């Protein structure tokens, strides 16, 4: 049986480290070393059939498609524990593709402004006394890719359908929609463009150096309609949480979508959301595939998941208790809308006899160095 194609294989085959900045060098080095002898591991022995095998350690990088499954499940379970017995909405804020160039030049600035503009928009609508007149909550996850790995910067938000008023009451939304979509998109556009202009004046976008580009870009952005999507997810809130959880770690593509890799090209499976057709394929030149993947490596320290309002980390527990009290929710029903967390299979079951238990008998040390041009970079990072 042929070995399944993986992102790791594509990076090892097509990556040119001389064209990468330090952050991307470090990420690629970790991804290529993941679950290989370079990371070290542990030697296991079955107490039933005497089978032995070595399990190599994972890199635990947040960009890796084969790491951190346990962390994803834990994040999903925590979000389910915080669910309120109210209607939820899935809201998506999308940046126009015209800003993709600026995103590459200043990702830390543009992404921060995106979070701020999205939350500022929802907060302003929620605090409006003609609407909810209180404090809203939002959990947001940053996505930067489309199905074919092109740059598509957008923010997925899970928003409870209501607000906590100043006198401790819960004011729920009326009907099956959160706020008018067109009004949301125009307020979001205004906040984002205003934030970009302020960033230019304060020197944060110093890599945008073409004469007249700033004014031309901002004027053009104000002339087009921006995309904001909102949908009631009353019956599938847990499904939305599971969807968001997959992208709190890992980026762009999973190994399952890479169909084949030859000496020059990579073939991917993707879903065309415009036509609703799934299992479509696209073939990319190997270097182009790597280039597209590296578009989505985040700057060091940039938080992809953020919580706002009464869901902010510093006040979530207290605020949720106040809201549940306002809703007169019984203590036994606080997580009534949650589903039981998925229990993974036993990781110690022998893969050969399926009856014995694999016992740890020795640790396998890391290799002294990587057999790849990125070796020295990664070794410096470890020290």
pTM of the model: 0.82
Task: Note the pLDDT of residue 3.
Answer: 53
The answer to the question of residue 340 being in a domain is no
The answer to the question of residue 16 being in a domain is yes
d(CA 263, CA 241): 39
What mean pLDDT do residues 165-171 have? 88
Q: Based on the structure, what is the number of domains in the chain?
A: 2
Q: Determine contact, residues 195/106, Cβ cutoff 8 Å.
A: no
Residue 98: pLDDT over 80? yes
Which range marks the domain in which residue 307 is found? 69-252+298-333
The answer to the question of residue 285 being in a domain is no
Regarding whether 200 and 114 lie in a shared domain, the answer is: yes
Q: Tell which wins on pLDDT, 271 or 344.
A: 271
Regarding whether 141 and 77 lie in a shared domain, the answer is: yes
- What are phi and psi for residue 342, nearest 5 degrees? -65, 130
d(CA 7, CA 1): 19
Give residue for tokens 């669910």. Answer: 83
The answer to the question of residue 48 being in a domain is yes
Regarding whether 137 and 90 lie in a shared domain, the answer is: yes
Smallest CA-to-CA distance from 57 within 34, 83, 26, 79 is with 34
The tens digit of pLDDT for each residue in 122-142 reads 999 999 999 999 999 999 999
Provide the 10 A C-beta neighbour count for residue 360: 11
Task: Note the pLDDT of residue 185.
Answer: 95
Regarding whether 36 and 109 lie in a shared domain, the answer is: no
Q: Determine contact, residues 263/98, Cβ cutoff 8 Å.
A: no
The alpha carbon dihedral of 127, 131, 136, 142 has a sign of: negative
The tens digit of pLDDT for each residue in 227-238 reads 999 988 866 778
Regarding whether 224 and 94 lie in a shared domain, the answer is: yes
Furthest C-alpha separation in the chain: 73
Return the percentage of the chain with pLDDT > 90, whole number. 37
Query: What is residue 228's DSSP assignment?
Result: E
> CB neighbours of 188 closer than 8 A, spacing ≥ 6?
93, 117, 118, 121, 226, 228
Q: Determine contact, residues 87/173, Cβ cutoff 8 Å.
A: yes
Regarding whether 186 and 92 lie in a shared domain, the answer is: yes
Length of the chain: 383
The answer to the question of residue 274 being in a domain is no
Task: Note the pLDDT of residue 234.
Answer: 64
Smallest CA-to-CA distance from 47 within 348, 362, 346, 364 is with 348
Q: Determine contact, residues 299/108, Cβ cutoff 8 Å.
A: yes
Smallest CA-to-CA distance from 341 within 11, 70, 155 is with 70
Regarding whether 110 and 15 lie in a shared domain, the answer is: no
């Amino acid at each position: 049986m042929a070995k399944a194609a993986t992102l790791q294989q594509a990076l090892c085959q097509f990556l040119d480290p001389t064209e990468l900045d330090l952050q991307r060098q470090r990420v690629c080095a970790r991804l290529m070393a993941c679950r290989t002898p370079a990371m070290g591991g542990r030697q296991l022995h079955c107490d039933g059939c005497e089978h032995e095998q070595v399990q190599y350690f994972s890199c635990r990088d947040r960009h890796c498609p084969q790491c951190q499954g346990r962390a994803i499940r834990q994040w999903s379970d925590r979000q389910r524990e915080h669910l309120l017995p109210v209607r939820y909405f899935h809201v998506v804020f999308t940046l126009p593709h015209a800003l993709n160039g600026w995103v590459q030049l200043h990702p830390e600035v543009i992404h921060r402004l995106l979070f701020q503009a999205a939350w500022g928009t929802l907060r302003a609508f929620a605090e409006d006394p003609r609407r909810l007149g209180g404090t809203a909550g939002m959990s947001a996850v940053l996505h930067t890719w489309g199905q074919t790995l092109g740059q598509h910067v957008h923010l997925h938000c899970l928003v409870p359908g209501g607000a906590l008023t100043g006198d401790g009451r819960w004011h729920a939304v009326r009907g099956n929609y959160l706020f008018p979509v067109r009004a949301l998109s125009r307020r979001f556009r205004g906040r984002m463009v205003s934030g970009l202009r302020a960033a230019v004046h304060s020197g944060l976008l110093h890599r945008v150096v073409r004469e007249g580009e700033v004014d031309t870009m901002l004027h053009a952005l104000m002339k087009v309609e921006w995309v904001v999507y909102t949908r009631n997810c009353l019956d599938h809130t847990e499904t939305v949480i599971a969807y968001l959880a997959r992208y709190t770690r890992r980026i762009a593509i999973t190994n399952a979508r890479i169909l084949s890799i030859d000496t020059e090209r990579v073939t991917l499976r993707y879903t065309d959301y415009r036509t609703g057709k799934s299992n479509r394929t696209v073939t990319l030149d190997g270097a182009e595939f790597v280039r597209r993947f590296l578009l989505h490596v985040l700057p060091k320290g940039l938080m992809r998941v953020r919580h706002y309002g009464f869901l902010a980390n510093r006040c979530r527990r207290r605020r949720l208790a106040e809201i549940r009290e306002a809703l007169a929710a019984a203590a036994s029903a606080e997580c009534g809308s949650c589903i039981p967390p998925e229990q993974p299979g036993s990781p110690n079951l022998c893969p050969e006899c399926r009856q014995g238990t694999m016992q740890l008998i020795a640790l396998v040390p890391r290799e002294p160095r990587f057999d790849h041009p990125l070796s020295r970079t990664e070794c410096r990072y470890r020290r």
